[in-house]
Amino acid sequence: MSYNNTYRVEDPSEWSVEIVGSWLVEIDLQNYVKIFREMKVDGPYLLTALSEEEHSKVLIPDQEDRR
């Protein structure tokens, strides 16, 4: 799959799983694309996870990457 910066022009609450993958690549977290896809993380899920620390620990276990 080819990634681009499509996410920059959309509201994160409307991001698809593919756009979340593009965003991860853009912020240098490409190692997490596969697990985010497997967990079907889209924009609404991502926004919830970012606001709930326990969810973010599951998605990105490496504390350094959760910057």
**Digit-coded pLDDT (tens) for 6-50:** 556 578 999 999 999 999 999 999 999 999 999 999 999 988 887
pLDDT recorded at residue 43 = 93
Report how far residue 13's alpha carbon sits from residue 9's, in angstroms, rounded to the nearest whole number: 12
Average pLDDT over residues 44-67: 77
Q: How confident is the model at residue 1 (pLDDT cuts 50, 70, 90)?
A: very low
Look at the block and give the residue holding tokens 């499509």: 6
- Cβ-based neighbours of 61, under 8 Å, separated by 6 or more: none
When comparing pLDDT for 57 and 12, which is higher? 12
**Are 43 and 19 contacting, i.e. CB atoms less than 8 angstroms apart?**
yes
Report how far residue 51's alpha carbon sits from residue 57's, in angstroms, rounded to the nearest whole number: 11
